[in-house]
Amino acid sequence: MSDSGLLPVVEIRPANDAPATAAVGSGGTPDDYPFEIAHYMRQDPELAHIKWILPAARVSFLFLPESGPLTYRVHVDFYRPKRAITGNGGLQMPAWFDIFTFKLPITPPPAGEEDDKGILESIDALEKLLDGVIASGIPPDRIVLGGISQGGAMALLTGLTTKNKRLAGLVALSARLPLRYRLKSMVSPHASTIPIFWGHGDADRLVTLQLGRACADFLVKEIGIPPEPNWPSSGSGSGGTPSGLDFQTYQDLGHTISDEELLDVGQWLKRIVPGDAEMDSDAS
């Protein structure tokens, strides 16, 4: 475990020991999902170049076998501080920001109905984490920021508002988009060019598919993100980069992840941050 700025992190080395790319996870619910996603992805040879960086407070013991299920893991506590969650009667829960109500509205909540302070503090913490990753030698255009639930919300908000670096892409699973009432004034000049993968289950009762779709539509209509993924043709010489929103819906999936969804994320990652061999082939 290492310390990047204010966020302690767990780093899972690339399977081929050649870190040229980083996938930064901003947590989820339950907390072990980022580890399971990293383990799932690193078994694919075409994703072996990715270094997984997961904000965490403490790992007493972590074992990632080269294949098979994640069989040994003892005590993983994610960084997300415990907060008194207003919508849950003030109960202390791990969270990036407070949730005033679990009856999440489809339309953008007005000022004062979201935890602006907590959200902005978490954006700042993730910004510092990204700065540390870049300082380690991984360029912004080889970094993907993603998360589940609140982690997905923070990935979107951080990636779209960071002013001095355009990330390779963003992943949001079972997520929503807070601060819609003020987001247009916060986004970076390059926000509309960042490719986004958004996965959502049609049986999600916490963050409904209707809410997820409304937030994704906001990105298209208000931020200018293309409504469909754009993949520059290999060998076209256009020098273009991927862009656009890839929104995928999963039947009978609740507020969780599935193998089908992870397979889609993996295929998307291969196009967003291809391995060295594919990059060399495209350049030739």
CB atoms under 10 Å from CB of 189, counted, come to: 8
Antiparallel, parallel or unpaired: β 7-12 and 2-4: antiparallel
Choosing from 4, 122, 149, 243, the catalytic residue is 149
Q: Report the phi/psi class of residue 5: left, alpha or beta, with left for phi > 0 and alpha for psi in -120 to 50.
A: left
Instruction: Look up 204 and say whether it is catalytic.
Output: yes
Instruction: Look up 124 and say whether it is catalytic.
Output: no
Per DSSP, the three-state class of 162 is coil
Rg from Cα positions in the chain = 18
Instruction: Look up 122 and say whether it is catalytic.
Output: no
Choosing from 39, 49, 200, 255, the catalytic residue is 255
Choosing from 31, 98, 115, 204, the catalytic residue is 204
Mutual angle of helices 33-42 and 259-272, in 10-degree steps: 60
Among 75, 94, 74, 76, which Cα is nearest to 84's? Answer: 94
Which are the contacts of 216, defined by CB distance < 8 A and separation ≥ 6?
Answer: 177, 198, 245, 247
Instruction: Please state the length of the chain.
Output: 284
Which are the catalytic amino acids? 149, 204, 255
